[in-house]
Amino acid sequence: MRTGRMVAPAAGRLAAARDVLAGLRTLREPAPPSLAGRVMAQLGPVDSVDSYSRMQTPLWPLLVAWGRDGITAVGRADDPAAFEAEYRSRTGRPVRLVREVPDRLTRAVEKRMRGESVPGLRVDLSGLNEFQRRVLAKTMEIPHGEVRPYAWIAEQIGHPRAQRAVGTALARNPVPFVIPCHRVVRSDGRIGRYGAGGSQSKRAVLQSEGVDPDELERLAQAGIRYIGSDTTRIACFPTCRNARRITAAHRVPFRSARDVTGAGFRACRSCRPFPTAQAA
């Protein structure tokens, strides 16, 4: 799915309308009445309104909004007025309640909630800046059932010191579940807050993906950041699918990247727990 693409349909239509007007001014004769209709058909309805509706999911009911450029927002169903107000302030567009979410979008959201990819799913991230888009695009790469710390996202998008900004961007993720911000945890490994309803719902979503939140908190409290295997001598984030395969007898806990490399282990190429430069 394309998350990073710029979406400015209103601006595009405005520019097209200006071109048409400029063209009309050069006409020597009055435009034929049928022209206006044809122009409108070409430009599309200028005041098209985005829509939203309620959708039932295995976890809880959601509000899902969409416009002509794809899914625009996902939110908890308990406060539709707040959902609408937030929508208007972020996108600058009104959103109206309709009877139901189109089948195609319902299936797409359900698939994303199961951690499946949805080829061709379009997400309209209007109102978000480039940094926020990059954070969300990177978050899309975290596999189902795994978590990564804020620091990892910051590092991966080339802003290693921007952990707080990463946290803020994730808290404002307009499409939770579709973009799995719940899979990003605090840099110390604790679960942390969650934009769409506090840490309890974050725990619930992670649990539904097979992550054990208590185990994550326990490791964080013990200061354990990475788990290595003494047979492969590779270290991972604890939730990496490679780490979960290590049997108890071969698990080696590490507190830092320095400890990992000091013990002669290297970083997993799948979960990339720390930059390889640190391994030198």
Cβ proximity to Zn ion, 50 vs 146, nearer residue: 146
Torsion of CA 253, 255, 261, 263, to 10 degrees: -50
Cβ proximity to Zn ion, 109 vs 240, nearer residue: 240
Min. distance of Cβ 243 from Zn ion in angstroms? Answer: 6
Residues of span 37-66 touching Zn ion by CB under 5 A: none
Q: Is the dihedral of CA 93, 98, 104, 110 positive or negative?
A: positive
User: What is the x/- site pattern for Zn ion, positions 258-277, by CB under 5 A?
Assistant: ----------x-xx------
Of 181, 236, 240, 271, the active-site residue reads: 181
Cβ proximity to Zn ion, 174 vs 273, nearer residue: 273
Has 271 been annotated as catalytic?
no
Min. distance of Cβ 204 from Zn ion in angstroms? Answer: 25
Q: Are strands 95-97 and 50-55 parallel, antiparallel or unpaired?
A: parallel
# residues contacting Zn ion (CB under 5 A): 6
Cβ proximity to Zn ion, 92 vs 210, nearer residue: 210
User: What is the x/- site pattern for Zn ion, positions 221-260, by CB under 5 A?
Assistant: ---------------x---x-x------------------
Side chain identity, residue 200: Q
| CA pair distance 185, 139, nearest whole angstrom | 11
Q: Cβ distance 229 to 246 under 8 Å?
A: yes
Cβ proximity to Zn ion, 232 vs 242, nearer residue: 242
Joined together, the tokens standing for residue 132 give: 């926020």
Cβ proximity to Zn ion, 173 vs 261, nearer residue: 261
Query: Taking the chain, what is the end-to-end CA distance rounded to the nearest angstrom?
Result: 35
Q: Cβ distance 227 to 253 under 8 Å?
A: yes
Joined together, the tokens standing for residue 29 give: 């004769």
For residue 195, what are the contacts with CB-CB under 8 A and spacing of at least 6? 170, 171, 172, 173, 176, 181
Min. distance of Cβ 166 from Zn ion in angstroms? Answer: 20
Min. distance of Cβ 237 from Zn ion in angstroms? Answer: 6
Min. distance of Cβ 183 from Zn ion in angstroms? Answer: 14
Q: Over the Cα atoms of the chain, what is R_g?
A: 23
Q: Cβ distance 126 to 90 under 8 Å?
A: yes
CA distances for 71 relative to 68, 106, 208, angstroms: 9, 10, 23
Min. distance of Cβ 111 from Zn ion in angstroms? Answer: 25
Q: Which residues are catalytic?
A: 181
> Applying CB under 5 A, which residues contact Zn ion?
236, 240, 242, 268, 270-271
